[in-house]
Amino acid sequence: MKKIWAPWRIEYIRGEKTKECIFCQKSKESSDKDNYILFRGVNNFVILNTYPYNPGHLMVAPYKHLADLEGLTDEELLEHFDLVRKSARALTEAYKPQGFNIGINLGRVAGAGVEGHIHTHIIPRWSGDTNFITVVSDIRVIPQALDATYSELLGRIARGAVRT
């Protein structure tokens, strides 16, 4: 049997678990680089998924802790989906994906990993990116470290924010 090493995971395994919402917690802190926050808008922010399906897996979340879309004002909703668009544009510029999975999981039964705080996933996809190891071993190989992904995308969303 072959082994795949993921030494960065030990920090999560050994780390103190908090009951606080990860989106609320990270958005209140001032260390965007450590938290992989790529962009802060007025009502929403863009953050890398720490446990991605693919490199460049981003999420857009409102600062407001809400379980569904109904609690967002029109202004908050417009900015949210504008950041989804700008995130896809930044990923396209950086990684040239052939497509995207963009979605929101509302509730645990729908697959929400963070139940209670709405967020939109933006996942770049390439033809053939589901390799054999996922199929035969239930393992996902991520070909780029989060720090490298962060550096690659930092600033691209902000530059997209000035486009109309």
Q: What is the pLDDT of residues 57-91, one digit of tens each?
A: 999 999 999 998 999 999 999 999 999 999 999 99
Q: Which domain holds residue 88?
A: 12-161
Position 4 scores a pLDDT of: 56
The domain tally of the chain equals: 1
Q: What is the CATH number of the domain that holds 32?
A: 3.30.428.10
The answer to whether residue 4 is domain-embedded is no
The answer to whether residue 113 is domain-embedded is yes
Position 114 scores a pLDDT of: 79
Contacts of residue 21, Cβ cutoff 8 Å, sequence gap at least 6: 65, 114, 116, 117
Cα Rg, the chain, nearest whole Å: 16
Position 138 scores a pLDDT of: 57
The answer to whether residue 128 is domain-embedded is yes
**Which active-site residues does the annotation give?**
119
Model-wide pTM > 0.85? no
**CA–CA distance, 52 with 149 (Å, rounded to integer):** 11
Per-residue pLDDT tens digits for 1-22 = 445 556 666 676 677 767 789 9
Structure tokens at 81: 């989906």
The answer to whether residue 81 is domain-embedded is yes
Determine the average pLDDT of the residues in 120-141. Answer: 67
The answer to whether residue 66 is domain-embedded is yes
Position 23 scores a pLDDT of: 95
The answer to whether residue 115 is domain-embedded is yes
